[in-house]
Amino acid sequence: MKALVLSGGMGIRLRPFTHSSPKQLVPVAGKAVLEHVLNNIRETGITEIGIVVGDSGDRISEAIGDGSRFGARITYIHQEEPLGLAHCVVVAREFLGDDDFLMYLGDNMLPEGITSVARSFAKERPPAQIVVQKVADPGAFGVAEVDAEGTVVRLVEKPVTPVSDLALIGVYFFTAAIHEAVASIEPSPRGELEITDALQWLVGRGVTVKAAEYTGYWQDTGQIDGVLECNRRVLEKLRPDLSGEVDGASRLTGAVVVEPGARVVRSRIEGPAIIGAGSVVTDSHVGRYTSIGRRCELRDTQIGDSIVLDGSTVADLRGVTGSLIGRSASVHASRHHRLIIGDDSNVGIAS
């Protein structure tokens, strides 16, 4: 079985960060979302992975490489325009061949993994299997109506009147039967080839589509609040590791990771928290659920429940929470409680 990871979206909801970097590379608990995805895929035993990329393909391939550090072989597949999930299957036809495959949205976080649903697909091998979860707002998702045996009766994309509360969560398992389906559907009113339409095409012709309900934590990281919430959830399982330097005037409590080359000087770190490799934290208080990226500098700062991306400098912040500060940003501020700062920004905020 192969895997197809979809990483070609524009990430409009995560701007300003996605002006300069793909949304799949936004870090959660010190790793890009896409790295978490690839680790989940490798846990299923799959080693042949195709990644569908768009205009930011060079940045994704530079960050992820050939897959060797994940124990996999990665093939990058270019999609000229983001024309829908089913269109990704079309452009990946040569890579997929007639093999069974897992399709996984590259901005989705499922920290508890997908090995159990992968095993159920391999055991039963229906022509298609979707992964669903009960949600409070099904109208915002593709929704599945499922019978008592777990067979899909109907699928609707973002219904005005939802047929159920079971939302598709961006993980699918397919046999070669899906190729005829994606070749047979027409673009939706928004101009995309919808995977829900392809699945409904199979259902309408009596082809079995199964649904596996996922009960673990799932988060679409396409919005800033989702990224921050997911960061909190992943950090809850953090194990302490002090590979960097912590001076005698500093105090660490809870699960704290200080990566190699990082230094903590006259500071207080409350875990769970990560101080990335090569970063320096001086005269600062880093609160719970905070991920500081690599090669950052924090001075005279109080920050918590936040993510600071690689290469940023943060000074003179007080009581900042729930913030996301982009790569290589320079921020000098005081008495602002929430900051959303894009990559390469230089921001000074007066009190």
Structural domains of the chain in order of their starting residue, each with its CATH number: 2-233 (3.90.550.10), 238-332 (2.160.10.10)
Mean pLDDT value across residues 214-220: 93
Instruction: Look at residue 351 and tell me whether its pLDDT is greater than 50.
Output: no
* pLDDT top residue among 90 and 142: 90
CA distance 222 to 245: 35
CA distance 41 to 173: 12
CA distance 281 to 287: 12
The identity of residue 8, as a single letter, is G
CA distance 312 to 326: 7
Instruction: Look at residue 73 and tell me whether its pLDDT is greater than 70.
Output: yes
The H-or-E segment that residue 212 falls in is: strand 209-213
Instruction: Look at residue 339 and tell me whether its pLDDT is greater than 90.
Output: no
Instruction: Look at residue 104 and tell me whether its pLDDT is greater than 90.
Output: yes
CA distance 267 to 290: 14
The structure tokens 């080839």 sit at 193
C-alpha angle 69/89/137, rounded to 5°? 90
pTM above 0.75? Answer: yes
Burial class (CB in 10 A: 0-12, 13-18, 19+), 83: middle
The structure tokens 């990946």 sit at 92
The structure tokens 């596996």 sit at 212
